[in-house]
Amino acid sequence: MVFAFTLRVMSIFVGFGAVILYINKNLLNSKQNLRRVFATAGVVSVVVGSNMLIG
């Protein structure tokens, strides 16, 4: 049971690493794309934070 839990957590981290690698290789290759990614992350963060404070 411990082995299954460890394997599942490890697969989640490997999957997250693969997503980050894909983003780095395909989206963050120019300064304009980098600004768009950070702007999108900022807007999502503000929306989620305000939703948590209001709701």
Would the pTM count as exceeding 0.75?
no
Which sign, positive or negative, has the C-alpha torsion 45, 46, 49, 52?
Answer: negative
Q: Which two tokens stand for residue 33?
A: 């794309």
pLDDT given for residue 29 in this prediction: 82
Residues 6+ apart with CB under 8 A from 23: 37
Which ranges of 1-55 would DSSP assign to H, the alpha helix? 2-26, 31-54
Please give the DSSP secondary-structure letter assigned to residue 55: -
Residue range 9-55, pLDDT digits in tens: 999 999 999 999 998 888 778 888 889 889 999 999 999 999 999 97
CB 28 within 8 A of CB 34: yes
pLDDT given for residue 40 in this prediction: 93
